Amino acid sequence: MAGVGHYVPERVMTNADFEKILDTTDEWIVSRTGMHERHIARDDETTSDMGLAAAKMAIERAGCAASDIGCVIVATVTPDYLFPATASVLAAKLGIAGTAAFDMEIACSGFIYGLTVASSLIQSGVYRRVLLVGSEKLSSITNYEDRGTAVLFGDGAGAVVLEAAERNDFLSSELGSDGSDPSLLLVPAGGTVAPLTAEGISEKQNKMVMKGREVFRFAVTKMIEATDAALAKAGLTRKDISYAIPHQANRRIIDAAAKQLEMIGDKVVITVDKYGNTSSASIPIALSETYGAGKLKDGDLIVFVGFGGGLSWGAVAWRWWER
């Protein structure tokens, strides 16, 4: 990776703020999720705006210009529009309209899928430099009357600039999805199954609905399976991991998976306490913070692992090389 960056909106919503609007407590939220606060975008702040801020940081850290980027990919479930692609809008805001750009929609696994696609585009020689952004305005699809989901989600963006280099960094990928029961985690209305109507909006069918317990169980199992599968494909073992950077959905999910993977201490990156679940942005935000704290060393093995709506899951084994 040539550069990493992130952005979170200024406004912070704490557990105490939720105590004022919902039948909930700081104690319940912290003990069930590990979350203390999350950042919420301004009404006029869009997914591409947040992605732009993260992308600028990643491009600056990469020491290149936006015009050096050959392709822009945005992973998001909260695009600026149904179409055009948020990536096209973002490319224009970066001053590189005309560059190849497309979105990927696979919920919280978006960054893992995006990393696989972007790295493959580079390894196959199609592009020399790809900008991959995970950006989410989850507050726009959160039902703030539903205590079971409202407290979980936040807004933000993370970005990476991937670059062709002699030393290989993308080692392996394991991806999966199972769409046999969309009701586990979805936004019911707004697509072709249930087009948006005034009645649907009044019933909040344009907001996220989730069966939390089922998703929890699936998440722990798939994080472990995907991590082991990606490591095996790269000819590596759990002991080789320098850092695991998991999707930040719930501290208890991360702890349960980390325990079974025998990952201890600060090898597992946690940001869920500060940002909540930011879907496809959570992994690149955590990566950018780890980089910013000066923790990454040449040759470190990072496992990125995620899961989410779809259901979907995936892991990528990555070798960190200083550029």
Which residues are part of the catalytic machinery?
Answer: 108, 247, 277
Under the criterion CB under 6 A, does residue 144 sit at the interface with ligand ACO? no
Question: For the chain, what percentages of helix, strand and coil (3-state, to nearest 5) are there?
Answer: 40, 25, 35
Residue with Cβ nearer ligand ACO (111 or 291): 111
> What's the CA gap between 114 and 28, in Å, rounded?
34
Q: Which residue has the tokens 């699809």?
A: 141
Does residue 323 bind ligand ACO (CB under 6 A)? Answer: no
219 binds ligand ACO (CB under 6 A): yes
Binding of ligand ACO by 3 (CB under 6 A): no
Distance CA 83, CA 100 (A): 15
CA–CA separation, 312 and 321 (whole Å): 29
Q: Which of 55, 59, 115, 185 binds ligand ACO (CB under 6 A)?
A: 185
Strand bridging mode 100-104 / 71-75: parallel
How many residues bind ligand ACO (CB under 6 A)? The answer is 24
Site for ligand ACO in 192-211 (CB under 6 A): 210
Q: Which of 14, 30, 32, 200 binds ligand ACO (CB under 6 A)?
A: 32
Indicate whether 139 belongs to the interface with ligand ACO (CB under 6 A): no
3-state secondary structure of 94: coil
Distance CA 31, CA 28 (A): 5
Amino acid letter at 244?
A
Residue in the structure block whose two tokens are 């149904």: 82
Q: In the numeric block, which tokens belong to residue 10?
A: 């200024």
249 vs 257, which CB is nearer to ligand ACO?
249
- Closest to ligand ACO by CB, 18 vs 291, is 18
Q: What residues make contact with ligand ACO under the rule CB under 6 A?
A: 24, 28-29, 32-33, 107-108, 147-148, 151, 185, 210, 212-213, 215-216, 219, 249-250, 253, 277, 279, 308-309
